[in-house]
Amino acid sequence: MNRPDVITTDTPPQPSPLNAPKRRRRLWWKIVALTVGLLMVVPVVSYTEALTAPGYASWQDRSVGWVRDNGGAGLVNAIENWWYTVHAPSNEAPAAAVLPGVAQQYGGPAKAQLSAPSGNASTVIPPAPVAPLAGAATIPGEGKWTVGATGAAGQPVIYTTFLRPDPGHASVVAAVAWIPVGATRAHLVPGTKQPSGWSGSAAIPSADIPSLVATFNSGWKFKDMDGGFYLNGHENPVLQQGLASVVIDTQGRITVGEWGRDVSMGQDVVAVRQNLHLVVDNGAPVSGLDANATGLWGSSRNQSQYTWRSGLGTDAAGNLIYVAGNGLTLQTLATAMTDAGIRRGMQLDIHSKMVNFAIWAHPVNAAAESTNLLPDMGASPTRYLAADQRDFFYLTLK
């Protein structure tokens, strides 16, 4: 006998009201995880782009710059101010490893001196020797000018020396490069990122390498100060009145002064690079450097940091003078600049790897050689042969 079909209706189990909170919590955590993941994509991509952006910059500089650009400027400033102000240099004699080659050679010829034809006497006379640091044992070569590089005819185009500007920290050494007016032609090159909006190779043109004499760093990043940049008729950012300015004219000569007072735009101006305010004026440090109460030279405590600093200026005759060293405050940098003979001068960049001056030599029948002004400068002396993220200067023989 056939059995009638058995029709059953299976009712799915109904979720227990007791499990509803667990399901909601799981859903909530999934949403949170997805949201966090999406939020992390943007900074990770941004940071990756910063690390891989074209142009030389150390990963430390790229990382710190990325933090600054993404809301962390205050934190970075606080950490830097704490680190560089509590780690003061010692009052002992400087270690031999931080002294320039001229000091290690007891005042002999600098390593970058060029081979020159015999019988070509120099007509360039360097400044008077700089007095050694009072109260400290004199280091051989301290304050004595020696030839750093010469032109094709054997005439000096760079003299160098070193001095100690801080009586309370005798280990601090500042190196000086003195370039006689008319001996070289100056050039300003925008980097791949600083300033923004510029195109070009961001490196020294290969055609200029045979006549290359020196390369050196420029100033702060433009987002950290109000200065402008001008090159060959193009201006970006806009030049600001009252700021310290490096001006290059059609003859390749550099003048340093306050924009609108000492220097201004004219038909003979080729390039202008601004950076904060003057630190040396009328042959003396500007008042207020030790406190920076008005913020003319950066954040309120920046001037007290014991760190790498560089400065540029001219003497009474218009000769160009570059000064750099580690463990300098803004006040001791200005002191070193005036000791070196600067009448008007400005601070350039600060911190390790940002401060770099290299002297280039072209020995006869040999490859060009480059040497940092101080042996412990963090960047390679060949840094600007390749594209760099930061703007910089270089000098060629006329």
Over residues 317-361, the pLDDT tens digits come to: 999 999 999 999 999 999 999 999 999 999 999 998 899 999 998
Q: What is the pLDDT of residue 123?
A: 63
Give dist(CA 285, CA 282) in Å, integer.
Answer: 8
Residue 107 has pLDDT above 60, yes or no: no
Q: What is the pLDDT of residue 62?
A: 73
Handedness of CA 210, 211, 215, 219 (dihedral sign): negative
pLDDT, tens digit (0-9, with 9 covering 90-100), for 110-124: 334 333 333 344 467
Q: What is the pLDDT of residue 120?
A: 40
Residue 79 has pLDDT above 90, yes or no: no
Residue 188 has pLDDT above 90, yes or no: yes
Give dist(CA 360, CA 383) in Å, integer.
Answer: 12
Give dist(CA 308, CA 326) in Å, integer.
Answer: 4
φ and ψ at residue 260, rounded to 5 degrees: 95, -15
φ and ψ at residue 164, rounded to 5 degrees: -120, 115
178 neighbors 184 (Cβ within 8 angstroms): no
Q: What is the pLDDT of residue 303?
A: 79
Q: Which residue has the higher pLDDT, 84 or 17?
A: 84
Closest residue by Cα to residue 244 from 319, 313, 149, 336? 313
Residue 169 has pLDDT above 70, yes or no: yes
CA angle 249–251–255, rounded 5-degree value: 45
113 neighbors 148 (Cβ within 8 angstroms): yes
CA distances (Å), origin 133, targets 159, 173, 395? 20, 10, 31
Confidence class for position 183, pLDDT limits 50, 70, 90: very high
Q: What is the mean pLDDT of residues 254-259?
A: 98
Closest residue by Cα to residue 188 from 235, 226, 149, 238? 235
Confidence class for position 105, pLDDT limits 50, 70, 90: very low
Q: What is the pLDDT of residue 26?
A: 74
Give the burial string for 187-208 (b: 16+ CB within 10 Å, else e). bbbbbbbbbeebeeebbbeeee
Q: What is the pLDDT of residue 31?
A: 72
Q: What is the pLDDT of residue 102?
A: 46
Closest residue by Cα to residue 162 from 279, 349, 323? 323
Per domain, the residue ranges of the chain are 20-83, 92-397
Handedness of CA 272, 388, 81, 97 (dihedral sign): negative
Q: What is the mean pLDDT of residues 141-158?
A: 90
In this structure, what token pair is assigned to residue 300?
């309120």
SS3 content of the chain, % helix, strand, coil (to 5): 25, 25, 50
Give dist(CA 376, CA 366) in Å, integer.
Answer: 25
Say how many C-beta atoms besides its own lie within 10 A of residue 154's C-beta.
17
Residue 198 has pLDDT above 60, yes or no: yes
CA angle 219–224–230, rounded 5-degree value: 50
- 222 DSSP assignment: G
Say if strands 229-231 and 234-235 run parallel, antiparallel, or are unpaired: antiparallel
Q: What is the mean pLDDT of residues 213-227?
A: 95
Give dist(CA 102, CA 259) in Å, integer.
Answer: 36
**Summary mean pLDDT of the chain:** 85
Q: What is the pLDDT of residue 118?
A: 35
Q: What is the pLDDT of residue 27?
A: 66
Q: What is the pLDDT of residue 24?
A: 66
List the beta bridge partners of residue 25.
none
pLDDT, tens digit (0-9, with 9 covering 90-100), for 291-324: 888 889 987 677 789 999 999 999 999 999 999 9
Q: Which residue has the higher pLDDT, 233 or 74?
A: 233
Question: What H or E segment, with its residue span, contains residue 177?
Answer: strand 174-179
Confidence class for position 106, pLDDT limits 50, 70, 90: very low
Give dist(CA 212, CA 385) in Å, integer.
Answer: 11
